Amino acid sequence: MVKDEVFTLYNGVSIPKVGLGTWQSPVEDAYRATLYALKVGYRHIDTALVYQNEEGVGKAIKDSGLPREEIFVTTKCPADIKTYKGAMEAFETSLKNLDLDYVDLYLIHAPWPWSAVGSDCTEGNIEVWKAFIELYNAKKIRAIGVSNFHDTDIEPLIMATGVKPMVNQIRYFLGNTQPKITKYCQDNHILVQAYSPLATGKMLDNPDLLKVAEKYNTTPAKICLRYCIDKGTNPLPKSVHEERIKANLELDFKISDEDIKILDSIHDESLDRPLRS
């Protein structure tokens, strides 16, 4: 079953194939969604310091009664922090918010501040990455990575430190799969995590998608999520509704190669712009 399946990062750490996203979920909503998700079988929760809901996620993990080692927790260093000291302080804040001894995956949230998208923050990213490596070596983080990075953002990190990100979390969904950075990551054994894997609902009425969903007697949303998995990416669907949280984990089918080709052909240029996550 999908809920028991994992991807393996290049350092040997296992990561559940589907995670619960918590972007735009206030603390109480994040608490309830996380607690319910853990109850129905999720073992992978994604949050971030800027989401301002780490406390809710951490409390749900405690209240779930599950052993800590069974739950994979991702959080992120804010995009506007580009110093070693700032990264260290942000990590300690997240650890305190979550009330955990370690996190499983820590990401640089973006290569530039959201107020200055596209700006060159190479030197700052290298300083942050050095802090990440130190935390990783101290075993406070089990895996380290980036988010919203292009290959031109990743290469300087590797050149400066010799350490390659284990994950790149990007906007990835049926209809807009960012093929250039996806290929770069997969060629370099960097797992692509797919945020907004349902395109915030904007693709769900696509006629070709509807036909494929009908063929499999399932919903367009489930086809979108299964598509991400079958393409070797790690979807992080966000919901605070119990029925949707449960449904988003019911992906125990495989899309045929023929139908994957149909889905690959779908593209919506209106969704080319970056989505903030």
Q: Which residue out of 31, 36, 42, 51 is catalytically annotated?
A: 51
The DSSP line for the chain is -GGG-EEE-TTS-EEES--EE-TT--HHHHHHHHHHHHHHT--EEE--GGGT-HHHHHHHHHHH---GGG-EEEEEE-TT--SHHHHHHHHHHHHHHHT-S-EEEEEE--SS-GGGTT---HHHHHHHHHHHHHHHHTTSEEEEEEES--HHHHHHHHHHHS---SEEEEE-BTTB--HHHHHHHHHTTPEEEEESTTGGGTTTT-HHHHHHHHHTTS-HHHHHHHHHHHTT-EE--B---HHHHHHTT-------HHHHHHHHT---GGG-SPPP-
Active site residue 31: no
Catalytic residues: 51
